[in-house]
Structure 1
Amino acid sequence: MKQLVQTWNRLSLVKRIVVGIIAGIILALLVPDATGISILGSLFVSALKAVAPVLVLFLVMAAISQHKKGQQTNMKSILILYALSTFLAGAIAVVASFIFPVTLSLASGSEDLTPPDGILEVLETLLYNVVDNPIHALMNANYIGILAWAIFLGLALKNASDSTKNLLTNFSDALSQIVKWVINLAPLGILGLVFDSITANGLSSLLDYGKLLLVLIGCMLFIALVVNPLIVYVNIRRNPYPLVFTCLRESGITAFFTRSSAANIPINMRLAEKLDLDPDTYTVSIPLGATINMAGAAVTISVLTLATVHTLGIEVDFGTALLLSLVSAVAAAGASGVAGGSLLLIPLACSLFGISNDIAIQVVAAGFIIGVLQDSFETALNSSSDVLFTATAEYAKKRKEGTETQLSKA
């Protein structure tokens, strides 16, 4: 048994997760009534969600309090990459929806949902999240609020004594160790999530929405494997795929099964550390990315909105389609501040075409039916690109500095 445990521990985390996926599928097929297995997945996601807010608070506080004057970060470049990727995702989804038009069989449902009245409400919610009570922000995993408090506290503690700063660093190191312990349980957690997904949802309920799923997933895969690598290549001027596949493998897989960007923050922090990125940057960019870097959400909003448009036979001109891309990108960035995520922002986008709220809510209900796959791919794309663009900005900066050094020597 001891030798078996040692062999297991020697395997990379990704290989252990693959074993967990296979075991989850086998158990779901052989013993579907063993519902106790699914608790492993719930416990794993809950553990990640529990540690993530406190981890972000202390990591950011410690990083900013220790930040030296004149030390440069890449936040501006990262924010530009986040915005560019999200807008391009919305635009590509619009183009794909015209090339492969999808219609829906609208049915009633989800009447109790309350989508936002407009883009101003989404942005207003985002602003109120910034000034949220810190205890409330921690309890509700409001990362915009947590980041705001962490940044202000970090700035206020810049003039604190070294012993105080060391205490913050020790706390952040201890939380990072807890994260490592939780992440080592990922294979068991993924096993439970796969088991629960197959036994609770099955795949038969998705067959009626096959074409819609193909357009949604096809757009997300195109962004992950073509658009994002192009963005990375333009910035770092070398083969982007080793970095892209590393992020998809070590961040995207867990995000796919947890279906939570918040739960994946500790995974991304660990990957950023593994990639030897600047902690002053990634401790801020990764939790911020979990809130505003939402290419997958932009795809969902655009595709389902245009599916509604095609179903109702509404004509769409180029200007309106471009406006939809912009609205999808802005709304997606505020999705985390709205209960229900990206699906509840579909009525907002539908209002561009004069579609009533009653019809739009039926589309939201259809979105929940395919959510088991749509949300998984969306979260995997969103979360893995947080690390991807953080690394891209840092590598681009190093490339630029190296070029300038060579020119000065010449």
Structure 2
Amino acid sequence: MKVLVKALLGAVALTSFALPAYAETTLTIATVNNGDMIRMQKMTDDFTKANPDIKLNWVTLEENVLRQKVTTDIATKGGQFDVLTIGTYETPIWAKKGWLVPLDKLGADYDVDDLLPPIRAGLSLDGKLYAAPFYGESSFVMYRKDLMEKAGLTMPEKPTWTFIKEAADKMTDKAAGVYGICLRGKPGWGENMAFLTATANSFGARWFDEKWEPQFNTPEWKATLDYYVPLMKADGPPGASSNGFNENLALFNAGKCGMWIDATVAAGFVTDPKQSTVADKVGFALAPDNGLGKRGNWLWAWSLAVPAGSHKTEAAEKFIAWATSKHYTDLVAEKDGWARVPPGTRTSLYKNADYDKAAPFAALTIESIESADPLHPTVKPVPYTGVQFVAIPEFQGMGETVGQDFSAALAGTMTVDDALAKAQASTTATMKKAGYIK
């Protein structure tokens, strides 16, 4: 009998020893291939050490591909992802449809009230946060101080589009492989249309009038493209119609661009001597205007959200709380320096003397973020909110279509007039089908 009891006890002991001490959860995270997101993936040992029961599976995609896959998955309730990287456009629309989990369990020390008010507002619905900002941005001018000086010009803190054209002409030296200006041309509602919609705002243009009638047949949109296309053909790099954020970042860091007007988040990369050959020569200015009271700057946040179809909500919120926390900011500062931390999300960062000292672009970044006005984005009144996008579900498809037309105009396969006519026709058809207009 004693032998039998010992044998049974031994078997129990062996079985207990063989079982894992915890149930493991694997989170599949869809994210964009931007520099800050790549850095986050390198930092995740800090998270997994504190949460050994959670494994991370990364799906890292180019911006346009990410948007397509994430939108398809959440709309069809595919359940492929547990954490989504989405933006200020999708968050309130998807929250209203019930596609996202409200983030109300980020922890007592998360300090949601520290999030910058414009960024937090864009990621909330009815006062509830549905996506936590990993980094926030507006847009501004980045330029080569040495080339500006060589051209005999001084960049104003508040430049006009007229000055930008003059400077681009003088800085262009194609024989030396230097182009006066690099701007987005890659088609996509969040690629070339982010830049062009924000620019059009400063030219007095708008997507729709107060009755939701498309406005691409107006002088203001014509003026926008008649500025952009000739400027890029004269002073932009070859193949500009294929260049988005990452392509222009690479060109600027290689010393190929005199000026680059794009996301404020790029400032941390163009001033990083590990990445940029011109890190010590970069200056910053506000996005240009046209004397009409609106600058061509946008408002955006790449953010992390939990789809309603995920069965791993608790683990997903733990990860999101870590990735968007003050602790994560301190972790990046410790490993890579204060100038590399994700910008544009927390008030406390812009009150931090160490950050202010390390980041010469900090003051202009926060000024650009706070001056973007999603409620009044245009010179003339509009029925929509959103600066570089229109906050309606139909915009994503319309933006893709119009982006293709405007990219074709830049590539020279279509005239500006034809691109605008096609944009007018396609948006009108969509708005009629959706019931906005008759």
Structure ranking higher in strand proportion: 2
The TM tier, using the shorter chain, reads under 0.3
TM-score by length of 1: 0.23
Structure number having the greater helix percentage? 1
